[in-house]
Amino acid sequence: GAGVSQSPRYKVAKRGQDVALRCDPISGHVSLFWYQQALGQGPEFLTYFQNEAQLDKSGLPSDRFFAERPEGSVSTLKIQRTQQEDSAVYLCASSLNYRAYEQYFGPGTRLTVT
Amino acid sequence: GQQVMQIPQYQHVQEGEDFTTYCNSSTTLSNIQWYKQRPGGHPVFLIQLVKSGEVKKQKRLTFQFGEAKKNSSLHITATQTTDVGTYFCAGGSGGGADGLTFGKGTHLIIQP
């Protein structure tokens, strides 16, 4: 079956540009997570949705980062006025429901800010 | 906030040798998960441990969760070249609904 998909796979942005990263979770998965992974590091939690509700956004590094999941399925992570320190791989993961712990990760979007 | 430390950062082994990575949390965990990430890939779920003192095995892999639910280990017996990758532990603080706190990972390099 289809796994978690993300687009684009690679994005190059000039400093100051806005970017939008898309995540298509596994069909029927209630929980959706965004992580940021810097080179050689572990993923760092950004935000979490249960259906369309954003229940935790404590990991978002600044108010330039915004995430939404309006219909409880596809999610978009938006970064405004990108900075060089935003360069990283952005991973999306989904989980069956709030009681299920296993997270299925997508391939990630590699963002490079020049 | 919760911190998860993982050691060693890098481990070089000869093919056939054993490998162990250790994970320690600054706080008591509700569960711990282990993921494997191949070079250029994304994290893939290996296992979840929930109970204090729990031990689980998957073929050559043995996972342990400490009695205090603050530490964990992954042991691989007789490594193979297919075991190459980065192994991450990730701690959950409760309910299964929250984001995971990942360690920095242990990069396993295998020399044939």
- Vertex B41, ends A50 and B108: CA angle to 5°? 115
Q: How far apart are CA B14 and CA B55, in angstroms?
A: 26
Residues pairing with A79 in the sheet: A19, A65
Q: Does B43 touch chain A (CB under 8 A)?
A: yes
- Note whether A89 and A108 are within 8 A (CB): yes
Nearest to B42 among A56, A102, A106 (CB): A106
Q: How far apart are CA A108 and CA A104, in angstroms?
A: 12
Nearest to A101 among B33, B42, B105 (CB): B33
- Note whether A6 and A92 are within 8 A (CB): yes
How many Cβ atoms from other residues are within 10 Å of residue B100's Cβ?
A: 28
Residue B97 pLDDT greater than 80, yes or no: no
User: Which of A41-50, B25-34, B87-96 is predicted least confidently?
Assistant: B87-96
Among the listed residues A28, A24, A29, A61, the one whose alpha carbon sits nearest the alpha carbon of residue A46? A61
How close B26 gets to chain A, by Cα (Å)?
Answer: 16
* pLDDT tier at B17, thresholds 50, 70, 90: very high
The mean per-residue pLDDT over the stretch B2-27 comes to 95
Q: How far apart are CA A52 and CA B9, in angstroms?
A: 37
Nearest to B42 among A40, A91, A98 (CB): A91
pLDDT at A99: 63
The mean per-residue pLDDT over the stretch B20-25 comes to 97
Q: Which residues of B are less than 8 Å from A61 in CB distance?
A: none
Q: How far apart are CA B96 and CA B34, in angstroms?
A: 14
